[in-house]
């Protein structure tokens, strides 16, 4: 299967480097996320594992992350605490997607090459595909977290482009849900900027680690909307 990749045509690097028509256009049936690497111009997504957890410490301990309304769990106080949080939040159900809503495929997001964004191989964040429902052709793109250094850069747009393309074009889903805490205004703005449609608010939806409940703002992208969302993301990466 083809993934998003740099344009190696005669146009060189003068443009974006994405070829919108490089993605597969037809999938028979609906598949679970494959866990294969997803590679773009700026970042690469690989399945998150134990070996990646220590590198999450600078991100999970970043005060700016929690100041923006990311409140589902405590801010880790140490490297060992980071491992505990990451295992609970990001690795729970890893590799156990069952097609009925259980399990997840969590990714480590790394820079591909040295650039103003940082050194090649730097872990910049994580994101997951969860709640895969093959019968209803739906999946949830969530548990997304980036270090504040990479907010407002190419990282989120390209991550969403790669993950949404995998969901719609590789796996054949008809709906991708994206949701966030009602307190997280930055996240809501970022999701809306993708072109996802706001569906509403699930009140008292998920219990936080501290015992309080969050209201979740729910968005989605449907397969018929994907071409426009894809073009919008592609344009942002130019």
**Mind listing the pLDDT tens digit for each residue in 89-140?**
999 999 999 999 999 999 999 999 999 999 999 999 999 999 999 999 999 9
pLDDT band at 207 (very low <50, low <70, confident <90, very high): very high
pLDDT at 15 over 80: no
Give the residue carrying structure tokens 């156990």: 96
- Domains of the chain: residue spans and CATH: 34-236 (3.40.630.30)
CA angle 60, 64, 69 (to 5 degrees): 90
- The pTM of the full predicted model, rounded to 2 decimals, is 0.86
Q: How many CB atoms are located within 10 Å of the residue 47 CB? A: 16
Q: pLDDT tens digit string along 147-161? A: 999 999 999 999 999
CA distance 46 to 49: 9
Mean pLDDT of 186-195: 94
Mean pLDDT of 37-65: 96
DSSP calls for the chain: --------STTTTSS-S--GGGS----SS--------EE-SSEEEEE--GGGGGGGHHHHT-HHHHHTT--SSPPP-SHHHHHHHHHHHTSTTBT---SBS--EEEEEEEESS-BTTBSTT-EEEEEEEEEEETTTTEEEEEEEEE-GGGTTSHHHHHHHHHHHHIIIIIS--SEEEEEEETT-HHHHHHHHHHTPEEEEEEEEEEE-TTS-EEEEEEEEEETTTHHHHHHHHHHHT-
Q: How many CB atoms are located within 10 Å of the residue 33 CB? A: 23
Q: Tell me, what's the pLDDT at 67?
A: 86
Q: Tell me, what's the pLDDT at 11?
A: 34
Q: Dig out the tokens for 171 from the structure.
A: 């796996």
Q: Tell me, what's the pLDDT at 28?
A: 54
Nearest to 142 by CA among 179, 115, 167: 179
Q: Tell me, what's the pLDDT at 7?
A: 38
Q: Tell me, what's the pLDDT at 3?
A: 45
Q: Dig out the tokens for 76 from the structure.
A: 């880790």
Q: Tell me, what's the pLDDT at 68?
A: 76
To the nearest whole number, what is the mean pLDDT of the chain? 89
Give the residue carrying structure tokens 């970022």: 190
Contact predicate 112/123, CB 8 Å: no
CA distance 127 to 188: 16
Least confident of 20-24, 111-115, 199-203, 219-223: 20-24
pLDDT at 33 over 90: yes
pLDDT cut 70: percent of the chain above it: 88
What is the dihedral angle through the alpha carbons of 140, 145, 149, 155, rounded to the nearest 10 degrees?
Answer: -20
Mean pLDDT of 227-232: 97
Q: Tell me, what's the pLDDT at 1?
A: 41
Q: Tell me, what's the pLDDT at 69?
A: 74
């Amino acid at each position: 299967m083809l993934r998003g990749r740099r344009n190696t045509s005669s146009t060189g690097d003068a443009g974006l480097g994405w070829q919108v028509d490089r993605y597969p256009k037809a999938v028979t049936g609906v598949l679970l996320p494959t866990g294969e690497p997803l590679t773009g111009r700026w970042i690469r997504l690989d399945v998150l594992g134990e070996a990646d957890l220590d590198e999450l410490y600078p991100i999970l301990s970043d005060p700016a992350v929690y100041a923006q309304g990311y409140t589902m769990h405590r801010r880790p106080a140490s490297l060992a605490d980071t491992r505990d949080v990451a295992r609970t939040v990001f690795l729970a159900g890893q590799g156990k997607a069952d097609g009925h809503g259980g399990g997840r495929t969590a990714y480590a997001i790394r820079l591909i090459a040295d650039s103003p964004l940082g050194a090649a191989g730097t872990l910049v964040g994580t994101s997951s595909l969860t709640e895969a429902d093959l019968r209803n052709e739906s999946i949830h793109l969530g548990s997304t977290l980036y270090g504040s250094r990479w907010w407002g850069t190419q990282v989120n747009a390209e991550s969403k482009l790669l993950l949404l393309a995998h969901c719609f074009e590789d796996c054949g889903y008809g709906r991708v849900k994206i949701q966030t805490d009602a307190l997280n205004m930055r996240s809501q703005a970022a999701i809306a900027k993708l072109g996802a449609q706001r569906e509403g608010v699930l009140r008292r939806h998920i219990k936080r680690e501290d015992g309080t409940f969050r209201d979740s703002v729910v968005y989605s992208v449907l397969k018929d909307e994907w071409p426009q969302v894809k073009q919008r993301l592609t344009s942002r990466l130019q």
